[in-house]
Amino acid sequence: MAQSTLHVEVVLTKPDAGGQLMMLLCPSKESYDNDKGCAPKVVKAEGRTVRVTYTDVNPGTHAVKVFHDINSDRVLNTSWVGWPQEPYGFSNDAPVTMGPPSFKAATVVVKEGVQTTRVNLR
């Protein structure tokens, strides 16, 4: 099976905050729900838009989770009630209500070849 390349463009809400982006590309609902089997990337958060590239991606449905780790502690910091204190986002700009969106809502269909998807942090 041919492999694909997926570029993920992440639009930062705090482009001058520094830190890093912590990203996961998840190939299934199971991996999306527990983070096991997802492909991690850690990149410097520089500029207004950060482009992260995944190569050798199997075509099919995937979902992206990302957060802007401003203090570089590799953890999505939350308030005492569990609300994220650092910018975060999902592929498809899937809406967040009580907890993360479903895999289905965040799904990106990766086709053979090269493609780009965008995530706007909130």
**Main-chain dihedrals φ then ψ at residue 36, nearest 5 degrees:** -85, 130
Q: Does the residue 121 lie in any domain?
A: no
Tokens of 3: 């492999």
Considering only CA atoms, which of 85, 87, 84 is closest in space to residue 48? Answer: 87
- The pLDDT tens digits for 34-56 are 999 999 999 999 999 999 999 99
Q: Does the residue 42 lie in any domain?
A: yes
Which CATH number fits the domain that encloses residue 54? Answer: 2.60.40
Q: Does the residue 118 lie in any domain?
A: no
Q: What total number of domains does the chain contain?
A: 1
- The pLDDT tens digits for 13-39 are 999 999 999 999 999 999 999 999 999
- Per-residue exposure over 81-111, b if at least 16 CB sit within 10 Å of its own CB, e if not: eeeeebbbbbbbbbeeeeebbebeebbbebe
Tokens of 52: 């992260």
Q: Does the residue 120 lie in any domain?
A: no
pTM for the full model? 0.95
- The pLDDT tens digits for 86-105 are 999 999 999 998 889 999 99
Tokens of 113: 């070849």
Q: Which residues constitute the domain of residue 72? A: 4-113
